[in-house]
Amino acid sequence: MATDVAIDRETLVTLLVRLADDHLVLGHRLSEWCGHAPMLEEDLAMPNMALDLIGQARALYAHAAEVEGRGRSEDDFAYLRREREYLNCLLVERPNGDFAQTMLRQLYFAAFMEPFWKAASGSSDATLAGIAAKAVKEVAYHIRHAGEWVVRLGDGTEESRRRMEAAIEDLAPYIDEMFDDDAVTAAAARAGVAPQPSSLRSAFDRIVGPIFAEAGLTFTTPPYSQRGGRKGMHGEAMGFLLADLQHMQRTYPGATW
Amino acid sequence: MHRPSSTCRDLLPASGEKGERQHRAWAAAAAVPDPEVPCVTVADLGILRSVEIIDGIAVARVTPTYSGCPAVLAIELAVEAALRDAGFEARVERVVSPAWTTDWITPEGRDKLRDYGIAPPEKTSSSIRSLFGEIEVACPRCGSSDTERLSEFGSTACKAHWRCLACREPFDYFKCI
């Protein structure tokens, strides 16, 4: 993936922050299940995956801070930005809903990230390549875990299937945004830093398709797609999420332990 | 782009007086146990990448196992403390590239894990198993391969939860990444 085309610092920081925000927000969402999961194994599984995602976010924020060179820390990125400054896609901020919604959201995001990390593990940015090489293996576990649940619920009882179908309909408008290209992703692709999101669509379909087939589920094409997250325009759920995420740092500025 | 994978063994220091100090520094750092799996050391796990004397300072490089492993900071502090205890001025650097893999766990490390009741990872991480494809994991207690996975995720990020259908004991499996 390496090329000689340079990428300007601001564009690279934007790319890294988008990625980091996706992972922090989804990691926070999963951590909300801690203590509330339907069984002990899941109560361990979801914080475990949250830990992977937050760990990936930390590495990405730290790298962004270093590239930016303005003395911001990973904590500044996570705790001290306003809602409009978060650049995560809308899918990851969707509320947990029930288990079907949580697992389907997880499957969609993991099926997007797996081919992304695979391509980025050959990134011309050595730090991103290192983060990606580790993350690609972690995300493989996430796909397997979420995929098994999608099959179990889709091919389960009448009630579990009804809920999985409702989740498919509910989340359908939030898929397309993940695959949007723009000036930032184009510059990153030219410089061999990261793949264009649109190029990952077929790999996503190859992951999700067989899982849906095994579950006997059909994908519904949404009447519209929701967008805006990459530009800092978020849904109602995001403010509540940030209030929770940032509460300690906003209440006790500079607190450490 | 990746440098080819290397293990800690490839990075053993040169001979001479500096080499002797590096050997001592390596030995001090290498003996640090993993805080979550204390039966193995950071060297057994392959997460201690190198120890070099640079401008009189012992510089240890360590690699995180999992992106979100909460033990990383504890390991870095413990390695630094071990080097200071051995009389070195010390610094620890975190290296993310090339990414750590369970392939770097030494044969001794695998034996120690098994003796401790944790099934070591399968030999190689390069064979990404297909979705739903099960792997065969031998029970660390009785050796039977009649085992089943209870959960992909266990008590720490690096482990999955399994049970043996022969001796009926539950056990941890050190995941292969």
> Which of B67, B100, B177 shows the shortest C-beta gap to A56?
B67
Predicted confidence (pLDDT) at residue B8 exceeds the cutoff of 60:
no
What tokens were used for A242?
């940030």
pTM: 0.89
How many angstroms separate the Cα of A244 from the Cα of each of A17, A25, A33, A75, B110? Answer: 20, 11, 14, 15, 42
Predicted confidence (pLDDT) at residue B12 exceeds the cutoff of 60:
no
Please list every residue in chain B whose beta carbon sits closer than 8 Å to the beta carbon of residue A210.
131
Distance from CA of A112 to the nearest CA of B (A): 16
- Check if the beta carbon of residue B24 is closer than 8 Å to that of residue B90: no
Number of neighbouring beta carbons within 10 Å of residue A44: 21
Q: How far apart are CA A174 and CA A41, in angstroms?
A: 29
Q: Which of A37-51, A78-92, A243-257 has the highest mean pLDDT?
A: A78-92
pLDDT of res. B19: 82
The partner residues of B62 in beta bridges, in order of sequence, read B48, B94
> What ipTM does the predicted assembly reach?
0.78
A70-94: average pLDDT: 96
pLDDT of res. B9: 45
Chain B residues 12-41 with CB within 8 Å of chain A? none
C-alpha closest to that of A184 among A97, A100, A71, A64: A64
**Does any CB of chain A come closer than 8 Å to the CB of residue B126?**
no
pLDDT of res. B15: 62
Using a CB–CB cut-off of 8 Å, the residues of A that contact B are: 2, 41-42, 44-45, 48-56, 58-59, 121-122, 124, 126-127, 129-131, 133-135, 137-138, 140-141, 143-145, 147-148, 207, 210-211
Interface contact A127-B1, CB threshold 8 A: no
pLDDT band at A20 (very low <50, low <70, confident <90, very high): very high
Dihedral Cα A199, A29, A75, A131, nearest 10 deg: -40
B28-50: average pLDDT: 94
For A208, the closest chain B residue by CA position comes to B131
Digit-coded pLDDT (tens) for A57-67? 999 999 999 99
pLDDT of res. B176: 82
- Check if the beta carbon of residue A78 is closer than 8 Å to that of residue A57: yes
Q: How far apart are CA A175 and CA B30, in angstroms?
A: 47
Q: How far apart are CA A165 and CA B128, in angstroms?
A: 30
Q: How far apart are CA B31 and CA B79, in angstroms?
A: 9
Q: Which of A111-115, A141-145, B2-6, B134-138 has the highest mean pLDDT?
A: A111-115
* Cβ pairs bridging A and B (under 8 Å): 95
- Check if the beta carbon of residue B150 is closer than 8 Å to that of residue B163: yes
What tokens were used for B26?
């390596």
Residue A48 makes CB contacts below 8 A (sequence gap 6+) with B153, B154, B157
How many angstroms separate the Cα of A19 from the Cα of each of A4, A189, B51, B143, B154? Answer: 23, 15, 33, 43, 27
Three-state DSSP at A211 gives helix
Distance from CA of A48 to the nearest CA of B (A): 6
- Check if the beta carbon of residue A97 is closer than 8 Å to that of residue A237: no
Residue located via tokens 């288990």: A99
Side by side, the strands of the sheet bearing B170-174 are B118-119, B170-174, B159-164, B147-151
A36-43: average pLDDT: 90
Predicted confidence (pLDDT) at residue B129 exceeds the cutoff of 60:
no
B95-114: average pLDDT: 91
